[in-house]
Structure 1
Amino acid sequence: MSTPSPQGSLRRFWLALLLQVGLVALVPARKALTLATGTPIYLQIAPVDPYDLLRGRYVALSYTVAQFSTLEKLPGWSPELSRPGILYLRLAPPNGDPAQPWQAIGLSRDRPKDLQPAEVALQGWFDGWQLRFGIEEFFISEALGDVLELEIRRNPETLRAEVKVDPWGQAALVGLWVGEQRY
């Protein structure tokens, strides 16, 4: 029986270390890829402004296109889709200004393969009440929090989220807009 060579042990050590580092780097790399290659879209939101003692101030976001009352009216909706699971929300830009909230135009369990050039499919998890995209919290600085809260109270109908969506339907929150001001 032969003993393992020092070079073989060293090679296995570096391979194991590289694998672990690669797995850890994969999580932020996915968001970075979405931010770098994603299509920018805008979604109408309704805010709640909580305070998290461990993480600071953030705005909890609920998207109008993700609410059950919106989803059940879309083409593709069926009682089968009301069970929890992954759903794809098909979105199209508004006529005219693409910086205005995009419109939900369809829903499916599978990623649509027949998207028009201007459309996107946003992947989310349906929990039985609403569709969650993983972009429901927006962190803000303490100094900016009071200003943003005041602006939201003045112009709640102009509040929208700037989101990037990659070709696989993953979303990354880029910013919040209140009227013409970006946060």
Structure 2
Amino acid sequence: MQPNQPENPNQPDPASQAEQNSANADRAAASTPVNSEQISEHPQPEEPSNAAIGSNTSSTSTFKQTQQPERRKIGAWRMWAPIGCQSLLILSVLIAPLQAHLNGKTVVLRTQPIDPYDLLRGYSQTLSYDISNLDNLQELPGWETLPKTQFNAPNRPQRPESGTSFYLVLKSPDRGSSDNQAPNPWTPVRIASTEPQTLASNEVMLKGKIEWSAARYGLERYYMPESRRDEINNAVNLANRNQTGAVEIKVRQDGYAVPVKLWVGQEDFEF
């Protein structure tokens, strides 16, 4: 057996050798110059300049300014649109009577006797005409064209359904009225369920609607100021409560009509 060899005092310790190698590597890295091309391959983000910040702020402000008027414009349209629709509706209601007054043909209708006590119940007067009576209309040519309501009772006369529209053709009187007298009324000559295509020069059509047991033409109710109401009431009493009156109307070509004047005896009252 060989004796143990003594350790070499000049051989370095492995742990201290590793620490020395690491320190040498750090010194070498610190002393090595940095290549500028390597730095340029990985550029760092630049800080925004003051000019760029000001430009972004200005564009944001401009965007807000351009958006605000548009929003105000949309809000204004939302407010004015309903007002405009209501104005058009009011104009359409006013234009129809105005057109009838300006361009309509003058027609006279005979009324049923006027009850003066109706005038004391308010500022309106309800009138009925000879052409409001369905018994008078059923004698006219064309009555059979109107749709009728079927009843189970055999003896009950058939009537047109409520809500049925029709056109009544009226003919002017052969002679005019005398002075200080109500004008002679026009005479109904035929009735039709559809608008007549041809009319004589002395004829006019009046549009009506069946409402239960009577015919209505939109000429049944008139509104009077209080002073005129009393005046008409006195005229009815002086004339005769059983005396018929007359109403002068203006009729458009499509059958729409408006009242113009009421005759009671020898006196006339404009609406």
TM class, shorter-length: 0.7 to 0.9
Instruction: Give the structure with higher Rg (CA).
Output: 2
Q: Is the CA contact 1:86–1:123 (under 8 Å) kept in the aligned structure 2?
A: yes
Query: Any idea what the Cα deviations from partners look like across 1:32-82, whole Å, max 9, x if unmatched?
Result: 2222221110011012331465xx244321110221111100010116251
Cα distance change on mapping 1:95 and 1:126 into 2, 3 Å: same
Q: Partner letter of residue 170 of structure 2? A: L
TM-score (norm 1): 0.84
TM-score (norm 2): 0.59
Higher strand share: 1
Structure 2: unaligned runs, 5 residues or longer: 1-66, 149-159, 178-182
Cα distance change on mapping 1:18 and 1:34 into 2, 3 Å: same
Q: Is the CA contact 1:48–1:60 (under 8 Å) kept in the aligned structure 2?
A: no
State yes or no: 1:83 paired with 2:170. Answer: no
Q: Partner letter of residue 200 of structure 2? A: Q
Aligned to 1:97: 176
- What pairs with 1:64-79 in structure 2 (closer than 5 Å)? 64-78=130-144
Q: Is the CA contact 1:87–1:107 (under 8 Å) kept in the aligned structure 2?
A: yes
Cα deviation, residue 104, structure 1? 0.3
Higher helix share: 2
Supply the distance in 2 between the matched residues of 1:179 and 1:146 (Cα, whole angstroms). Answer: 12
> RMSD over aligned Cα, in angstroms?
2.4
State yes or no: 1:108 paired with 2:198. Answer: no
Q: Partner letter of residue 97 of structure 1? A: G
Cα deviation, residue 93, structure 1? 0.4
Paired-residue identity, %: 24
Cα distance change on mapping 1:38 and 1:172 into 2, 3 Å: same
Aligned to 1:48: 115
Cα deviation, residue 16, structure 1? 3.6
Cα distance change on mapping 1:147 and 1:51 into 2, 3 Å: closer
Cα distance change on mapping 1:168 and 1:148 into 2, 3 Å: same
State yes or no: 1:156 paired with 2:156. Answer: no
Cα deviation, residue 13, structure 1? 3.6
SS of the residue corresponding to residue 28 of structure 1 reads helix
